[in-house]
Structure 1
């Protein structure tokens, strides 16, 4: 499978969205598998705004975390005459038939964020690189620890989730490699794993349980910012906040950025919903006007970054929904 980064295709993406819309009428559909979390709401909002600024007619649907409903949403939008579809799929395999049917009707399909099986007929999948972000976050953590052992409380989203697995392994790989490279040894222990279901309240509850069982935690590693923010509240209530480095593998939630600015949160990986959504609209418009780069692959990564106090102001957006 050919993989391209945003940087690799940026030179080919020189036309403005408005110019693209002028070349051919744009009827764009946005199919989100859920809008029940701020991250996905921000993604939908950014895609809608980018498309409307380009002069597109926009239809949007909330799948409500129900694959059958999302399939129906796509069918309805195709029947209504969309010619570009931005989809955040509920299930990698379960949405393949609906995507293939849309493409067969001449719809240009761009997948975002959640994984869609690459065998499906779509242009590209735009997402952040969990591996690359994780390694940068792990490197930052190793240098922050300055050779001291890492005793990690791990907050994971949901069991069996492939994105969560990629995120935690990326950070742990980066941490181990940087410890060995910079200090000649690596002592890393995951003292416990809690399941926070990607939510702030879930992170709080999981952290309370981990604190009860383990007195020597010096790192909290979460697979997203929301769970780490919940863990922070638990640490604060227990009077142990100053003992622990807060680390998120991904997201860049606004509340986390604000704490990073104040030096009260360590690092998070860049997974900007606005950037992903805007790029998806741009690619969809390129496809609509037959202006896609010839070498575009099925997977397009945004530029990875570890967001720390040193660079947070480059990424913080007060107007973002997330």
Structure 2
């Protein structure tokens, strides 16, 4: 199975005239989002609407509210409306496979956005941030921050079984340990505990409160999403511990970038919903025009965001 990294936007090869011609033969795309609970997921839906309108695509969007059964029902309803293509942000990887198979049975090609899904799934491709590269970079940066000092970390993850969350945390750990071995010929990382923040700020706050109680000597927090990191920072402030703890996250949320600029968050990495949605809709356009051969994964460009470049990356007009 091929796994080719594409760091350029598919849309760069499509001309304005191509989009104009496409608009004359309008297609209908269904976008099943796993939830709208959280700035990132809401950003996915809002940018999807913007870019679909730009490209002359008829768009139907749904919110599964974090419920696998509802997401399956949402897709069944969209399939009954004769959508041409399905874009799926699966709540659960196993259920995502079943949904893709359901769409295939109806003759509807499926494209996966942001979350991951088994390589056995009948999908065209998966568009996401390069979670491996981004989080290795975050781990390496963390070692720059700590030097030879031991890192006593807690991890706040999204939800159990999420493949993207797993990729983020394992590659953060990989980045830390490889950098420590490279620089110091030994590792100094202890994972004290793991909490679950359900991909939102309130969940990150609650998880951090629990982790502080059980791990008084922690000096490092890694969260799989900026929104959860912002909640963790609130809890650390309330416990008067933020000055002794370095926080690292992923996603490049505008409020997360502001936290990087203020020094409360040490680093994050880009998972821009504007770029993600534009990229996947460009792929749908190309697919509809006959380009059907795609790699298993299409990645947007990896970007590590620290205090050094946060002002350059920050977009005050961002919807996310």
Give per-residue Cα distances to partners, 1:12-71, cap 9 Å, x unaligned. 734357346236322222111222222111111111111111112221122232333323
Which position in structure 1 is the counterpart of 2:267?
267
Any conservation in 2 of the 1:20–1:286 contact (CA below 8 Å)?
no
Change in Cα spacing, 1:96 to 1:183, as seen in structure 2 (3 Å) is closer
Which position in structure 2 is the counterpart of 1:42?
43
Q: CA deviation at 1:195?
A: 2.6
User: How do 1:230-241 and structure 2 match up within 5 A?
Assistant: 230-241=231-242
Which position in structure 1 is the counterpart of 2:204?
203
Distance, in Å, in 1 between the alignment partners of 2:14 and 2:224 is 34
Distance, in Å, in 1 between the alignment partners of 2:24 and 2:209 is 56
Q: Aligned with 2:45: secondary structure?
A: helix
Any conservation in 2 of the 1:108–1:284 contact (CA below 8 Å)?
no
Q: CA deviation at 1:260?
A: 0.9
Which position in structure 1 is the counterpart of 2:244?
243
Which position in structure 1 is the counterpart of 2:133?
132
Of the structure 1 ranges 194-203 and 7-16, higher mean CA displacement relative to structure 2 is found in: 7-16
Change in Cα spacing, 1:286 to 1:235, as seen in structure 2 (3 Å) is same
Q: Aligned with 2:317: secondary structure?
A: coil
Any conservation in 2 of the 1:20–1:289 contact (CA below 8 Å)?
no
Q: Are 1:303 and 2:304 matched, yes or no? A: no
Distance, in Å, in 1 between the alignment partners of 2:190 and 2:266 is 19
Q: Are 1:158 and 2:156 matched, yes or no? A: no
Q: Aligned with 1:31: secondary structure?
A: strand
Which position in structure 1 is the counterpart of 2:118?
117
Distance, in Å, in 2 between the alignment partners of 1:213 and 1:72 is 40
Q: Are 1:283 and 2:283 matched, yes or no? A: yes
Q: Aligned with 2:191: secondary structure?
A: strand
Which position in structure 2 is the counterpart of 1:74?
75
Change in Cα spacing, 1:252 to 1:21, as seen in structure 2 (3 Å) is same
Any conservation in 2 of the 1:108–1:288 contact (CA below 8 Å)?
no
Aligned residue pairs: how many? 319
Distance, in Å, in 1 between the alignment partners of 2:225 and 2:267 is 11
Any conservation in 2 of the 1:84–1:285 contact (CA below 8 Å)?
no
Which position in structure 1 is the counterpart of 2:213?
212
Change in Cα spacing, 1:122 to 1:182, as seen in structure 2 (3 Å) is same
Change in Cα spacing, 1:157 to 1:27, as seen in structure 2 (3 Å) is closer
Distance, in Å, in 2 between the alignment partners of 1:201 and 1:105 is 39
Q: Aligned with 1:102: secondary structure?
A: helix
Q: CA deviation at 1:126?
A: 0.7
Q: CA deviation at 1:310?
A: 1.6
Which position in structure 2 is the counterpart of 1:227?
228
User: Gapped runs of 5+ residues in structure 2?
Assistant: none
Distance, in Å, in 2 between the alignment partners of 1:209 and 1:189 is 18
Q: CA deviation at 1:287?
A: 0.5
Distance, in Å, in 1 between the alignment partners of 2:92 and 2:125 is 16
Give per-residue Cα distances to partners, 1:177-203, cap 9 Å, x unaligned. 111212333211122323323332232
Q: CA deviation at 1:162?
A: 3.1
Distance, in Å, in 1 between the alignment partners of 2:109 and 2:155 is 39
Q: Aligned with 2:7: secondary structure?
A: helix
Distance, in Å, in 2 between the alignment partners of 1:54 and 1:298 is 24
Distance, in Å, in 1 between the alignment partners of 2:275 and 2:12 is 17
Distance, in Å, in 1 between the alignment partners of 2:98 and 2:244 is 50
Any conservation in 2 of the 1:138–1:174 contact (CA below 8 Å)?
yes
Give per-residue Cα distances to partners, 1:151-190, cap 9 Å, x unaligned. 1122223334333222111111101111121233321112
Distance, in Å, in 2 between the alignment partners of 1:3 and 1:303 is 16
